[in-house]
Structure 1
Amino acid sequence: MSAGARTWAEGDELPPLEIPVTRTLIVAGAIASRDYQDVHHDAELAKAKGSPDIFMNILTTNGLVGRYLTDHFGPDAVLRKVAIRLGAPNYPGDTMVLTGKVVSVAEGTAQVAVVGANGIGKHVTGTVTVGLPREGASR
């Protein structure tokens, strides 16, 4: 499909994206975002604080939500506003499945409701405003 030929409409569902939650992903995301809280890299200290294991930080989740949307809308899409809330933790060995639904489209933007669920519940929920690629934008 040529650039700019794709249109989006209210009710469109984005294809799901399965993300294996590995120990490496959790630790690398924490390091990359300079979040050195022990619960994101030290299993023994996380357990001492009441968690069964290390868990993903919100900055990693935010990045994965962004990736999910730009993978769908294309590299010329711009994330204008990301409003997410964490729920069930993402622990190593689980899989998070991101899903999305276009809530509205107006004036070159789309509002998308996003959910990321894992084996114990909804890890992330929220709404993202995406600036849509313009007609003829480069790919």
Structure 2
Amino acid sequence: MRVGDELPPLQIEITRTLIVAGAIASRDYQDVHHDPESARQKGSPDIFMNILTTNGLVGRYITDHFGPTAALRKVAIRLGAPNHPGDTMVLTGRVEAVDADTAVVRVTGDNGIGRHVTGTVTVTLPARGPA
């Protein structure tokens, strides 16, 4: 793990089921995350993903790369363009800082209409034993 290391991109298909299931799992029952007509009445073309689902997907991206023993210490994200059903989000990452067994990774996620998420994740890897 070195500053400048690029993580391989991860493509995530944005399905209606993913959006609704993520909202339910995070107990976010706002109608814009499950009711297309309500979302349209509030100015959106369709339902859209909530921030807690995005946060979970960003965490998954990091642990998929660093492995199941990686510990997420901090996830700080900001949303931009919404994730709507039928789109694909592509997450990318780059190691920005390393201090012993801890790294800060800058993560971005883009979809068909723009940048959905930007942020940083602080992750700690367990110390390796003797070889």
Assess same fold via TM > 0.5: yes
Which residue of the other structure, out of 19, 27, 30, is the alignment partner of 1:37?
30
Question: What TM-score does the superposition give when structure 1 sets the normalisation length?
Answer: 0.91
Other-structure match for 2:63:
70
1:2-81 aligned at under 5 Å gives the runs 8-81=1-74
Within 1, Cα distance between the matches of 2:10 and 2:75?
Answer: 18
Other-structure match for 1:4:
none
Within 1, Cα distance between the matches of 2:25 and 2:116?
Answer: 20
Other-structure match for 1:102:
95
How many aligned residue pairs are there? 129
Within 1, Cα distance between the matches of 2:67 and 2:127?
Answer: 11
Within 1, Cα distance between the matches of 2:40 and 2:90?
Answer: 25
SS at match of 1:67: helix
Instruction: Kindly provide the amino acid, as one letter, of the partner of residue 48 in structure 2.
Output: F
- CA deviation vs aligned residue, 1:38-81 (integer Å, no higher than 9, x gap): 00000000000000000000000000000000000010100001
**RMSD of aligned alpha carbons:** 0.6
Other-structure match for 1:5:
none
How far is 1:108 from its partner?
1.2
Question: What TM-score does the superposition give when structure 2 sets the normalisation length?
Answer: 0.97
Other-structure match for 1:126:
119
Within 2, Cα distance between the matches of 1:97 and 1:60?
Answer: 15
Within 2, Cα distance between the matches of 1:122 and 1:37?
Answer: 23
SS at match of 1:34: coil
SS at match of 1:9: coil
Within 1, Cα distance between the matches of 2:126 and 2:23?
Answer: 30
1:90–1:118 contact (8 Å) kept in structure 2: yes
The gaps in structure 2 that reach 5 residues or longer are none
Identity %: 78
- CA deviation vs aligned residue, 1:14-35 (integer Å, no higher than 9, x gap): 0000000000000000000000
Instruction: Kindly provide the amino acid, as one letter, of the partner of residue 45 in structure 1.
Output: S
